[in-house]
Amino acid sequence: MIQKRRLKIQEIKHSVELSFITELEQEISELQKRSTEVEQLLQSEDHLHLLQSFTSLNTLKRVQQYEVDVTLDPDTANPKLILSDDGKEVKHGDVRKNLPDNPKRFDTCVNVLAKQSFSSGRFYYEVQVKGKTEWDLGVVRESINRKGQITLRPQKGFWTIVLRNDNEYKALAGPDVLLSLKSRPQKVGVFVDYEEGRVSFYDVDAAALIYSFTGCSFTEKLYPYFCPCNNYGGKNSAPLIISPVEHP
């Protein structure tokens, strides 16, 4: 009996030790990873870049905490758009589908909104734009015009950035702001602070701020806004894809 108990105690001790060792190994691995990142940045002679890199990465990680689940609303989609069954992808389909018109639907511009709306707090989501030559992303207020040609301006309830002609990035701030980006974004993060009146866009892979609208006055529900733009004979056929945040 005593021998069995001793064996049992030894087994428990061994199990606890293994668990503790595993946790330590994970901590060491994470510290080594961070150490490597720091060493790589320290090798750079541009200390301002070092500071900016850390600041940008920390800022992006901070806003990613406010991730929300966003899905596309088919009742708002222009009839030429094709939405995936899960409501996470949208692309231009060339052919205009015979859909019932309703006050929510964009009838001329190839736009679509999310089902989800936000009227307080902070929210964040990411959209893959890989392989596209043109796109629009941002947020809009509920009362925007959805019929006929539309002007994308904050004064009209649109806070957006766009890609045009494969390499022209602009913030449609009224007047437009031409954006000079160090790298071509493959995934764009959109962050909104409703009370602060801020809409920020991030290049997720570069952990870099693309542009911020500040000093905005929000009084209505805000909806995530998506425009895959025209297909252009297949040159811009890639979809916009709402993607889950990849936490390290």
- Of 202, 227, 200, residue with least CA distance to 214: 200
Quote the percentage of the chain above a pLDDT of 90.
Answer: 73
Give the residue, 100 or 199, on which the prediction is more confident: 199
Asked if residues 216 and 159 have their Cβ atoms less than 8 Å apart, the reply is yes
Give the residue, 128 or 47, on which the prediction is more confident: 128
Quote the percentage of the chain above a pLDDT of 70.
Answer: 77
Give the residue, 179 or 17, on which the prediction is more confident: 179
State yes or no: pLDDT of 32 exceeds 60.
yes
**Res 51: pLDDT:** 44
Q: How many residues does the chain have?
A: 248
∠ CA 65-72-118 to the nearest 5 degrees?
A: 50
Query: Domain 81-243 - what CATH class?
Result: mainly beta
Q: Could you count the other beta carbons within 10 Å of the beta carbon of residue 109?
A: 18
Average pLDDT, the chain: 88
The ranges assigned to domains in the chain are: 2-64, 81-243
Q: State both tokens at 91.
A: 């692309």
Give the residue, 38 or 161, on which the prediction is more confident: 161
State yes or no: pLDDT of 42 exceeds 80.
no
pLDDT-based confidence at residue 30 (cuts at 50, 70, 90): low
With 0-12 / 13-18 / 19 or more C-beta atoms within 10 angstroms meaning exposed / middle / buried, residue 117 is middle
Cα 42 from Cα 38, distance rounded (Å): 6
